[in-house]
Structure 1
Amino acid sequence: MKLDTIFAFTLVYILLLITSPEFPSAAGDDVGSVISASLFEELLKHRNDQLCEGKGFYSYNAFVTAASSFGAFGTTGDFNTRKREVVAFLAQSSHETTGGGGGSPPDGPYAWGYCFVTERDKSKQYCDGVGPCALGKSYYGRGPLQLTHNYNYALAGNGLQLDLINNPDLVAQNPVVSFKAAIWFWMTPQGNKPSCHDVITNRWTPSSADIAANRVPGYGVITNIINGGVECGNGPTSSSNDRIGFYKRYCDVLGLPSGSNLDCSNQRPFGP
């Protein structure tokens, strides 16, 4: 076979490989190329409102900096898949930190994500006997995905090489760490749960147990991963509907169809 023919075949193979949905984007093609600073502002337009505890905390630069520590986040698959992952992450975390749930807020409730950094009810310590707790420390929700429970702080701390058991407040004090903790949870499978990342980038295949529990690929199973024990399997809930509302708005802004299987109302929660 002639060299130019070999070269042509090799070039075609490489092009097919790098355009595959399973192939991460090229180096330098990071989250910043998926969502610009102006888009970030449009999606989270009231996060710096005077009414928000998180005023000035959740910055675009902190988000992009944190995301760069996770090579596959927002860089896996074709461009629409990459956009969908960022949209899904921001939608789920917007629900967790929303400040627009009541009344008739300006621009509607789905423009008020990232209003809070910490859980409003701080009365619980969330030291559950699984893993260590530090004296006088509480493990209530902090950050974009409201990291909660001592064992999650321990796992996230190990993953990020930070002592979050003795210093859980770091997740609410350092915006880069705060985003890193949330993205770590997003990227990491736990027990029989897939990672949110694998679900939204079409890298998860449901097991027979998943199929029997109606856990099928889609945004709804991500809600199941995050808070299935509370929100899934009992018909529509206001919380699940709120997550979907953020997702649909963000999809519209980025020109994405929202797709199917958005809720988890008929899914059984993931078991232990």
Structure 2
Amino acid sequence: MKLVLSVYTLLAVILAAGKWYGYCGTGNAYCGQGCRAGPCNSSPGNNGAKVTDIVTDALFNGIINQAAANCAGKRFYTRASFLQAAGSYPSFGTAGSADDSKREIAAFFAHVTHETGHFCYIEEINGASQNYCDPNNRQWPCVPGKKYYGRGPLQLTWNYNYGAAGRSIGFDGLNNPDIVARDPVISFKTALWFWMNNCHSIITSGQGFGATIRAINGQLECNGANPNTVTARVNYYREYCGQLRVDPGGNLRC
């Protein structure tokens, strides 16, 4: 018997073949794990924004130039190292609308400014005296003699964060946590790794800057725990939103 394909059946076969042979399109029929570029359902959400155009020399230098000349971070953090690190996270600053991109970048640098004192600090003050080891975490066990205190732009802390960040980025976070304070690109990558895993979806979905404070340091600052630090973060966020000419939105506090 001769097989006759309807137009719709033929179209379905063509679409399925496109997926199986690795050709990604923009519709659901093309997208999924079989595509060479990976799942592409989120691709239309990319708004074409370029982090390099938003994080200008003026924005970056306007932050770091406020640090004292003798700050260790002043010779460590650079816009070039940030942009190199950001290249590993293509969704950072490019999701949602153009204003969403600006708000995300403003939020990221607001927290970085607060955590590092305008890029002054590479390591947590008196961090070596703190014990950030969770002995109950068997996936990322603490290595004797190693300290997992805050390092980098968002002050990466705890053994489980060092271990997971290291695996994702490509360094031995448990045995060599000090590299976060020695290699500026890895340092920025740890900050972006934490951001993308804990804050990116919050700010791009419109939950507000306050929700990112809760994700970063909620137990110590939110619900009245430390309103002064919350205010400091919010003020930086407003300042950078102003520079980027974007409305900061609502829900700024936590």
| TM-score of the aligned structures, taking structure 2 as reference length | 0.77
Q: CA deviation at 1:78?
A: 2.4
Higher helix share: 2
CA distance in 2, matches of 1:21, 1:71: 11
- What are the residue-to-residue correspondences of 1:238-253 with 2, within 5 Å? 238-253=228-243
Root-mean-square deviation over aligned CA pairs: 2.0
Q: Supply the AA of the counterpart residue of 1:117.
A: I
Q: Corresponding residue for 1:23?
A: 45
> Which blocks of at least 5 consecutive residues in structure 2 are unaligned?
1-25, 27-41
CA distance in 2, matches of 1:222, 1:21: 24
* Number of the residue aligned with 1:93: 112
Residue in 2 that maps onto 1:199: 202
* Alignment deviations for residues 95-134 of structure 1 (CA, whole Å, 9 cap, x no partner): 1111xxxxxxxxxxxxxx1111100112013112123111
The match for 2:89 is: 70
| Distance (Å, rounded) in 2 between the aligned partners of 1:257 and 1:22 | 23
1:55 corresponding residue in structure 2: 74
Name structure 1 gaps, 5 residues minimum. Answer: 1-13, 15-19, 99-112, 189-194, 204-216, 265-272
| Equivalent position to 2:119, from 114, 122, 126 | 114
What is the deviation of 1:22?
Answer: 6.2
Please tell me whether the aligned partners of residues 63 and 113 of structure 2 are also in contact (alpha carbons under 8 angstroms): no
Structure 1: which amino acid aligns with 2:202? V
TM-score when normalising by structure 1: 0.72
Counterpart-to-counterpart distance in 2, 1:263 and 1:32:
28
Matching residue's letter, 2:60: F
Look up the match of 1:11: none
Question: Could you tell me whether the CA contact under 8 Å between 1:143 and 1:179 is conserved in 2?
Answer: yes
Counterpart-to-counterpart distance in 2, 1:171 and 1:222: 22
Please, which of 116, 134, 137 is the counterpart of residue 128 of structure 1? 134
Note the C-alpha offset of 1:68.
0.5
Offset, 1:234: 2.4
Secondary structure of the corresponding residue to residue 104 of structure 2: helix
Structure of higher CA gyration radius? 2
| 2:61 equivalent to 1:41 | yes
